[in-house]
Amino acid sequence: LQPQSSEEAKVFVHAFLKRSMPTMKDEAIQDMLTRKAVVLEHYPPKKTKQKRKKTKGFTAKQRRELRLFEIEPEQQRYAIFLPLHELWKQYIRDLCHGLKPDTQPHVIQGKLLKADLHGAIVTVTKSKCPSYVGITGIILQEFKHIFKIITKEDKLKVVPKLNNVFSLEIDGFISYIFGSKFLLRASERSAKKFKLKGTIDL
């Protein structure tokens, strides 16, 4: 085939369409050439999604064997964790928008129920076991059923939540935690809806 000029190409295409579709008028052929667009469909190859492999964490047994949650005796000192308590107080102030005097107590209580308590200073005020009453210290670890608290005497106490009432104070606001209603992990509390009214017992 010899290369053709644009004018010759138009004449050729017009003649080709006239022979292929003799029933069409010249106006219709010209309209097809000027107004109709030919869309060439293109289907790109589908990309196969690679499944991400989920990284398996340690089991509870492996964590116990590795002693991941144990605090070494030389680290069991109250003074070490005072900066953590200061950070916790600032965290609660930010969470409650400054703990202003005119803030409704139930609003602060609702936020504290879902807040992270690591670093809070708590006191056991009531207990079915008298030996727990009066224990005061900084919460180092919170599990579903227990608090691990470091006291001013540098003693690490494991205090069960069940059958105990805890109090915490910040900027003059005192809140009480009924451990029997608090049997949750810290990560679960943030999504739980607490009822502020109900039966209260140890």
And the tokens for 11?
């004449």
Nearest-5° Cα angle at 81, 171 to 68: 130
Does residue 37 have a pLDDT over 60?
A: no
Least confident of 83-87, 96-100, 148-152: 96-100
pLDDT one-digit tens code per residue, 118-163: 999 999 999 999 999 999 999 999 989 999 999 999 999 999 999 9
At the topology level of CATH, where does 76-191 sit? SH3 type barrels. (2.30.30)
Q: What confidence category does residue 195 fall into, taking pLDDT thresholds of 50, 70 and 90?
A: low
User: In this predicted model, which residue has the larger pLDDT, 148 or 15?
Assistant: 148
> Which tops the pLDDT comparison, 23 or 39?
23
* CA 167 to chain centroid: 27
- Ordered by start, the domain boundaries in the chain are 1-53, 76-191
pLDDT at residue 61, as a whole number: 81
pTM: 0.65
